[in-house]
Each structure stands twice: as structure tokens, then as C-alpha cells.
Amino acid sequence: MELIFLGTSAGVPTRSRNVTAILLDLKHPTRGGLWLFDCGEGTQHQLLHTAYHPGKLDKIFITHLHGDHLFGLPGLLCSRSMAGNANPLTIYGPVGIQEFVETTLRLSGSWTDYPLEVVEIGEGLVFDDGDYQVHAYPLNHPVECYGYRVQEHDKPGALNAAALQADGVKPGPLFHRLKQGETVTLEDGRVINGQEYLAPPQPGKKLAIFGDTAPCPSALRLAEGVDVMVHEATLEAAMEEKANSRGHSSTRQAAQLAREAGVGKLIVTHVSSRYDVRGCESLLAECREVFPACELAEDFAQVSV
């Protein structure tokens, strides 16, 4: 999987950062998949500077209904339709997302020519197609807000074809069934259990994408053991009290969570517009003091999961 940051600023855009939006390219070998997490104002403009096309989007996950995470959605939906795209799209988000989509389209005399489904979510499993599952976890923000944990299902271990042939099992259709862990009966009457010829399963990738939040109990469950955690770091540690009072986290708090959750890598984003380049370097340094495996996202940064 690969993350592409389309916007990394908190609240308002700056000259170098747009407001929040993150693409996730699943890079699945057969089904593909392009998901968007949040859609701040101008997201469709940011997409124009990438190799990705809105028509390839099949899911949009909204963390909460604040404008810097949402106001780009109507324009993106309409442009996707005007381009003649017929691929279906599903939007997931808190209660109110359906009213927002329907009202903005109705009042602006707009529509979509592709199948559009809006799913209002709560805590728990949001999506599972057998390849990936997405869970939503409630966060601590002035409005209803969620973080999303994306988890790839474990992949079956490799089939030990050499061992099978050594036991007199010839390559053929049976190998496919054995690869699925099935038990098969050979022509000579022997019963072969495919599980005995499989390597251990390959663990699926795990990713946590937080919405805006002050520290909260569910954060650890959301982030525990993920390969990559994307978390806001709106303000520096010295302004922690102010950050928390507005439902946000400091650099230190984001890094502490990453350490406690045992994540592989921390990507901090949603940076206050008060910070220039030098200020952002200081934010990153504060994070790395607590959790060294940390990067501060820039617009158009790409991160492999």
C-alpha cells in the first residue's frame, strides 16, 4: 500500500500546504483500489498535480464534518461526474454526512451520473471485503470524529511444492486446492492435508489514520501494532494545553502514543498554519525525541506501508 498526502495543514491552507486529504493506493495485484481519507477544500486541485484520477476513487472515508476535512467533497463529486465516469463510489462518515452530500448537491443543482452510496458510521467494523477490513474508532474532538484502522487480511503461506512432489503428489489442479489448505484424496487413496504443506501465513499490512483528536482511551486500540500510524501534531509541546482544549494533540502526545502502541513508523500531519519551514523542523525534532521513527508529512509526500 502507499499513502499520498494531498493536504497537511490544520484549519486553513498555507502557501505550501493545503488542508487535509490523504490518498491510499492499495496496489492490490488484481482489484486495484484507490481510497481517500478526508477531502478538504481544494482536494481536486491537489489531485491534478498527481498521477491519480478522481475516477479511480472507489471509497472516501471522512473522519469528521469540520470544513477543513470536508469542504472539497461537493466539487470532487461533481467533477468526477462531469468527466463521464461511471464507476461507483461509496462515502463513509459520521452521522450528518448524508445530509451534507444531499443538501449541497440539491441546492447547487448538481448530481452524479455514477452510483453513489453514503454510509453513516459508528464505532466498529465499517467495511470488509475479504481482502481488507476497516474499523472506526471514536476520538476526542468537539464534533463526532473517528480514526480508521485499515488492515489487510493475512495471506496464506506458500505451498511447499517440492515436499508434495517428494511425497508422490504430481503438480496439477490438486495443488490449487492444497494451497487453500484443503484436505484432498489422491487416486491411490491417500488423504493429504494441505495445511501440512503450507508455510506460516504472511501477516497483512496494518495502517491507522487518525482524525483530529486530543488524547483518548480508544487511540491505543486504533494504533496498536500498525505498520504506519498517521496522526495529527497540530501544535508544539509547549502549547499542549491549548491543543487539547480544542480537541487536538501536541507533537509529544502523538509521539508518545506511537511508542506505547508499538507502531512501525509515525507520520505526523495537520500542522498549524503558524509554523513556517523552521517551525516544522522543530515540530519534527520534538516528535523524534520521543519516537525516532517519525516523519512530518509535506503535501505530495508518498509513504509506503
State the chain's maximal CA–CA distance in angstroms: 76
Residue 44, all three cell numbers: 481536486
Strand ranges (E), 108-196? 116-120, 124-128, 132-138, 146-152, 183-185, 191-193
Q: Are 204 and 28 in contact (CB under 8 A)?
A: no
Catalytic residue among 68, 212, 227, 299: 68
Strand ranges (E), 26-75? 34-37, 57-61
Burial class for 149, CB neighbours closer than 10 Å (0-12, 13-18, 19+):
buried
- Catalytic residue flag (residue 128): no
The HSE-up count of residue 44 (CA atoms within 13 Å, CB side) is 16
Residue 257, all three cell numbers: 502514543
Q: Which are the catalytic amino acids?
A: 68
